[in-house]
């Protein structure tokens, strides 16, 4: 089978030949599976030109989708798919399982099943097969940084479809940063009037980077985001919003200067940052700032039903707090030891606030500094150590160590890679990523609730550039996230590569994805002369 990600169990199907879709083929579903049936009929109807009308269950020529209690013990995302000459049966432990089974059936029908209009009259045939499948991790995510370079709504919807096609189920939207604020907040209109637009952008990284003098910006209205959330939910993808505090906040401070450390710096002169890196302008720690972000998050919760809300918490320089008399008074009033504990106090405030509203706070592993908030989930990006510490303390963890899952890192040596960053990370490197360290006990490992690939966009100003960095590495990541694999050194990357070559590149072609070819970048994918980030810093983890 040429499936990506590969299922847990594949066996030959009943004898009698493939199931061939034709003008008489119908789609049946129980009530819980009706959304998956509508989706399947829509995409296959567009690709094949067949009507695929709804029908009652049973009989020949039927694609039958249903939720069954029999699979519930394996989890709501488990499914079984049986294909024979008479039809296809997809059963799931829940509606999500049925949907993932429908995605597998689409792959079995060939790359042309991923197009939006029929290229010919077929035949559209799925081979006889029995598949039993279920995911390894509940959180299988990708971060999309729309703050550094804005991606219009249609591009986000497209990426939701790409995630779902790879059985990934979390889209982490990085909505705010120093360089831009991308979410409409009705109570604070200047966040988008001012914070969503910067006058120019740095091109490349480092001291020799140049400038793109065009203004850059954009934001999503509340209705845009509701549409994104609903579109994702129909594909069993959860959208997790990130509102970054207390660092990475210059765009917000530019819009509302009183949020900054005004006793240290003249915040009235700030604009959204036109550079990349770690910014010294951070939020102050006043009650007014806490209230401001409570009001922001109130509107965020109205839009995003996700159990998880990400508040960043990373790369917060403490220089301004050290120099700020107001911050030092706050440390003294609260009986804190230092600025690290001050940041922990800030994060704990929002941990409590979110918990009171039935949500869970997620933060980058810097939220460990000064003491971890009681209910926090740690996204471990600086290697494994933060995740290990959190899991041993009984906290849930999403593993996303930069050395394995940062898809902005370079994909090869040589001068042709556009804006080369850090160390080389090939699809094989990603395929050999193991999210759960051997040092964790079984009970501690159970706190690793998921894995995530992060797509930072300082150097990607278009969907084409994002595609180049993401694929095919995201396909390798998806298999790591979905399927239990042998230890890294024993993994059969050659088999994965054969599946890419035999079918999956053709699926990506049909979807219009401008991936990096295995032979290297195409001429228009190169970006000569633009400096990247050298290899100094953290060495690759092994």
Residues designated catalytic: 177, 248, 315
358 phi/psi in degrees, rounded to 5 = 80, 20
Residues 6+ apart with CB under 8 A from 300: 183, 241, 243, 309
**What is the residue-wise DSSP string for 238-306?**
EEEEEEEESSS-HHHHHHSGGGB-TTTS-GGG--S--S-S--S--B---HHHHHHHHHHHHHHHHH---
Q: Rounded to an integer, what distance in angstroms lies between the CA atom of residue 90 and that of residue 105?
A: 9
Bridge partners of residue 83, in order along the sequence: 88, 129
Strand, helix or coil for residue 211: strand
Share of the chain residues as helix, strand and coil, in percent rounded to the nearest 5: 35, 20, 45
DSSP 8-state symbol, 449: E
| Contact present, 48 and 31 (Cβ < 8 Å) | no
Backbone dihedral region for residue 383 (phi beyond 0: left; psi -120 to 50: alpha; all else: beta): left
Question: What token pair was written down for 115?
Answer: 């197009």
Distance of alpha carbon 428 from its chain centroid, rounded?
20
Q: Rounded to an integer, what distance in angstroms lies between the CA atom of residue 2 and that of residue 230?
A: 31
User: Residue 278: is it exposed, middle or buried by C-beta count within 10 angstroms (0-12/13-18/19+)?
Assistant: exposed
DSSP H or E segment with residue 11: strand 9-12
DSSP H or E segment with residue 105: helix 95-108
Residues 6+ apart with CB under 8 A from 329: none
Residues 6+ apart with CB under 8 A from 230: none
Torsion angle of C-alpha atoms 17, 115, 516, 170, degrees rounded to 10:
-90
Strand, helix or coil for residue 408: coil
**What is the residue-wise DSSP string for 30-68?**
-GGGHHHHHHHHHHHHHHH-----B--S-STTEEEEEE-
Q: Which of 81, 99, 105, 82 is nearest to 35 (CA)?
A: 99
Give 159-199 as a 3 state SS string: HHHHHHHCCCCEEEEECEECCEECECCCCCCHHHHCCCEEC
């Amino acid at each position: 089978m040429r499936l990506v990600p590969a299922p847990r169990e594949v066996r030959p199907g009943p004898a009698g030949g493939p199931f061939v879709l034709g003008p008489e083929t119908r789609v049946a579903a129980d009530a819980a599976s009706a959304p998956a049936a509508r989706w399947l009929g829509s995409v296959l109807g567009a690709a094949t030109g067949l009507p695929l009308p709804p029908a009652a269950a049973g009989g020949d020529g039927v694609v039958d989708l249903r939720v069954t209690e029999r699979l519930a013990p394996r989890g709501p995302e488990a499914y079984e798919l049986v294909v024979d000459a008479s039809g296809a049966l997809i059963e799931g432990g829940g509606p999500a399982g049925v949907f993932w089974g429908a995605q597998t059936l689409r792959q079995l029908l060939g790359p042309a099943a991923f197009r939006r209009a029929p290229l010919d009259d077929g035949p559209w045939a799925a081979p006889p097969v029995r598949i039993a499948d279920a995911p390894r991790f509940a959180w299988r995510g990708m971060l999309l940084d729309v703050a550094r370079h804005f991606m219009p709504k249609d591009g986000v919807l497209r990426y939701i479809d790409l995630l779902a096609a790879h059985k990934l189920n979390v889209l982490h939207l990085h909505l705010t940063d120093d360089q831009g604020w991308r979410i409409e907040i009705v109570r604070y209109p200047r966040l988008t009037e001012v914070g969503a637009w910067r006058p120019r952008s740095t091109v490349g990284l480092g001291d020799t980077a140049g400038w793109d003098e065009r203004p850059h910006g954009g934001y999503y209205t509340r209705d845009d985001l509701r549409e994104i959330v609903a579109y994702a939910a129909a594909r069993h993808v959860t959208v997790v919003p990130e509102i970054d505090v207390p660092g990475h906040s210059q765009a917000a401070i530019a819009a509302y200067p009183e949020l900054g450390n005004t006793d240290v710096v003249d915040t009235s002169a700030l604009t959204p940052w036109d550079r990349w890196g770690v910014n010294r302008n951070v939020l102050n720690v006043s009650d007014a700032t806490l209230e401001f972000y409570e009001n922001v998050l109130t509107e965020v919760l109205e839009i995003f039903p996700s159990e998880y809300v990400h508040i960043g918490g990373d790369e917060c320089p403490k220089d301004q707090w050290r120099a700020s008399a107001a911050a030092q008074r706050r440390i003294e009033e609260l009986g804190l030891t230092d600025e690290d504990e001050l940041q922990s106090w800030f994060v704990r405030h929002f941990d409590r606030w979110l918990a009171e509203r039935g949500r869970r706070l997620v933060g980058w592993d810097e939220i460990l500094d000064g003491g971890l908030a009681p209910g926090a989930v740690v996204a471990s990006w600086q290697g494994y150590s933060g995740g290990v510490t959190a899991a041993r303390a009984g906290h849930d963890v999403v593993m996303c160590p930069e050395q394995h899952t940062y898809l902005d890192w370079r994909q090869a040596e040589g001068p042709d890679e556009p804006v080369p960053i850090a160390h080389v990370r090939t699809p094989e490197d990603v395929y050999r990523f193991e999210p759960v360290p051997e040092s964790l006990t079984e009970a501690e490992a159970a706190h690793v609730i998921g894995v995530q690939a992060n797509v930072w966009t300082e150097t990607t100003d278009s969907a084409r550039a994002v595609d180049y960095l993401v694929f095919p590495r995201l396909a390798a990541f998806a298999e790591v996230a979905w399927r239990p694999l042998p230890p890294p050194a024993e993994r059969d990357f050659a088999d994965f590569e054969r599946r890419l070559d035999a079918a999956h590149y053709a699926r990506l072609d049909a979807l219009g994805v401008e991936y990096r070819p295995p032979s290297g970048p195409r001429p228009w994918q190169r970006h000569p002369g633009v400096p990247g980030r050298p290899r100094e810093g953290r060495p690759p983890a092994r």
